[in-house]
Structure 1
Amino acid sequence: MRTRSVHGGRHELGQNYLIHQPTIDRITALVAATDGAILEIGAGGGALTTALAGLGRDLTAIDIDERRVAALQRRHPAVRVELADALRHPLDAPVIAGNVPFHLTTPILRRLLQRPAWSDAVLLTQWEVARKRAGVGGGTLLTAQAAPWFAFALHGRVPARAFRPMPSVDGGILSITRRGSPLVPLAERRAYERFVGDVFTARGRGMAAILSTVGRMPRPAARRVLDRAGVEHDSLPRELAPTQWAALWSTA
């Protein structure tokens, strides 16, 4: 009898199963505040699956480990349990939830933010990723590029001891909500993302110098653009709020 997945063991799969009931309750409460069918990614041992099933909504749970999928299918006959990879699945439910494999946090987030169908996501990720995506201590390139269409919020830190096996880092609960009224037209998304990328990677001390380089404009002209966007001349890209990025894009 095979005791390992065809993909390897728990470490190869990045599986750190959530065993902390207060965290399970917190994630479930956040999902309960949303509407629509739920897709759980990385269902693993099923602790969160059981709680989400209790909400009485249409629930699909996916996992890449065929052993866990078979066990969940037996335990939850009313839940649609599928063998699938979050990096390939359509991610097309209104609500996405899950304990994201820590080593795949960034690629899953990048893919999620490009998918058009979902409205709300509640994810348990690495603490540093959750903190940075929520803009605590300064925003990141990925967050700034997505901010006109998505709002990020941090809902607490989860200690490493809340998982089995215990990872080397803590987790964090991150929610992402698609904005009903985007700050930048969706048709301009690719161009906007390139602009933000250029600003984050350009040389210069402060936004006046950076914008002068990116926009190929004299420093006084860059300062006028920043004034219209409500951005301090000596601020850094990671300090800008979503509304300031949108205003800068529309005026630069």
Structure 2
Amino acid sequence: MTGKTGGRTPRDQARRTLSQNFLVDTAVVDAMLAVAEPTGFVLEPGAGEGVLTRALAGQGTQVTAYEIDPLLAARLTARTHADHRIRVIRGDFTKATAPRTPFAVVGNIPYSATAAIVDWCLTAPALTSATLLTQREYARKRTGDYGRWSLRTATTWPWFTWELRGSVPRTSFRPIPSVDSAILHIARRPKPLVPHHDSYVDLVRTAFSGIGGTVRASLHTRYQGVDRALTATGIADDTIVAHVHPDQWVTLHALLTH
């Protein structure tokens, strides 16, 4: 019967539930590889039909491909079982244990799991970089493309760079999604910009608390010498928190926490 599903098949239902939009544009695959520059060990969340999986293996990497859909995982296993460079795991990438040795993440990830996958990457100690196809809106917000910066980007900036490395039209996928995508590249810095993680994150979170409506008002609730630090950093008294560049948070941290 089709009355309760609007005529959609079980596969249609799975695609909607799991946010499955398969990459079919080889030019985008090439662009992903150019940005990721994959070497060594790579994890791929949301492997799907394996277009990116096989391309990564073709670069000489060892790929562990995660696919939560049992049918797709079985198909990909069957197609790649003879390739010693590829290992397919049926399961949720965000539940995986992170490797202890250096690795990268490269993937066309489900839109619905974007935040969880990014969080997983940022908390994996051995991660070197993550090159992800995300909704364009998400990538723009996280990389300051609107002239505004998110709390997530600001709190991780001393340890990771966030870059928007190209837009991807929705027609590059099947089924065609309702929005365009983008290549988001997150890379671990060789050397952190601040020595103390907790004090930096506390400062940024205090500023993002919204108390008083401005950076100045929020920081005054906890720190001494705020006015002098803002002047030295080039931040006007009426600046709202999202308009502060992450590099300025690093400077403020140095000035306000000795």
Class of the TM-score when normalised by the shorter of the 2 chains = 0.7 to 0.9
* More displaced stretch, 91-100 vs 113-122: 91-100
Which amino acid in structure 1 is aligned with residue 144 of structure 2? G
1:100 has 2:109 as partner: yes
Contact residue 24 and residue 172 of structure 2 kept, 8 A: yes
Residues of 1 paired with 2:39 and 2:233: CA distance?
Answer: 35
Identity %: 38
Q: Does 1:82 align with 2:89?
A: yes
**1:26 maps to which of 31, 50, 62:** 31
Matching residue of 2:6: none
CA–CA distance in 2 between the matches of 1:36 and 1:154? 24
1:16-55 alignment, distance < 5 Å = 16-32=21-37, 34-55=38-59
Structure 1 runs of 4+ off > 6 angstroms? Answer: none
Q: Deviations over 1:188-247 (max 9, x none)?
A: 3244323212211223354323322343x5xxx321021334433333322222321112
Q: Distance in 2 between matches of 1:4 and 1:191?
A: 50
1:153: Cα distance to partner? 0.6
Contact 1:134 1:154 in 2 (8 A): yes
**Where does residue 192 of structure 1 map in the other structure?**
200
Assess if the C-alpha contact under 8 Å between 1:19 and 1:164 holds in 2. yes
Superposition RMSD on alpha carbons, in Å? 2.0
Shift in Å at residue 150 of structure 1? 0.2
Question: Quick check: 55-64 or 88-97, which moved more?
Answer: 88-97
Worse-matched range after superposition: 227-236 or 70-79: 227-236
Aligned residue for 1:53, secondary structure, equals helix
Length-normalised TM-score, structure 2: 0.86
Q: Measured at CA, do residues 240 and 158 of structure 1 come closer, stay the same or move farther in structure 2, by a change above 3 Å?
A: same
Provide the residue aligned with 2:228 in structure 1: 224
For 2:250, the equivalent position in structure 1 comes to 246
Q: Partners in 2 of 1:176 and 1:246 — Cα distance? A: 18
Q: Is the 8 A contact 2:67 2:89 kept in 1?
A: yes
Kept after mapping to 1: 8 A contact 2:214/2:239:
yes
Separation in 2, partners of 1:172, 1:95: 18
| TM-aligned CA distance change 1:214 to 1:172, over 3 Å | farther
Are the aligned partners of 2:168 and 2:183 in contact in 1 as well (CA < 8 Å)? yes
The residue type equivalent to 2:104 in the other structure is V
1:140 aligns with 2:150: yes
**Could you list the per-position Cα deviations for residues 123-171 of structure 1 after superposition, in whole angstroms to 9, with x for gaps in the alignment?**
0011111111111111101110111100011111112221111222111
Q: State the one-letter code of the partner of 2:118.
A: L
> 227-236 or 121-130: which moved more?
227-236
Q: Distance in 2 between matches of 1:29 and 1:75?
A: 25
- Give 5+ residue unaligned stretches, structure 1: none
Paired residue for 1:66, among 51, 59, 70?
70
Q: Distance in 2 between the 1:191 and 1:174 partners?
A: 27
The letter for the 2-side match of 1:89 is A
1:104-123 → structure 2 map (5 Å cutoff):
104-123=113-132
3-state SS, counterpart of residue 148 of structure 1: coil
Q: Is the 8 A contact 2:21 2:173 kept in 1?
A: yes
CA contact (8 A) 2:161 2:186 kept: yes
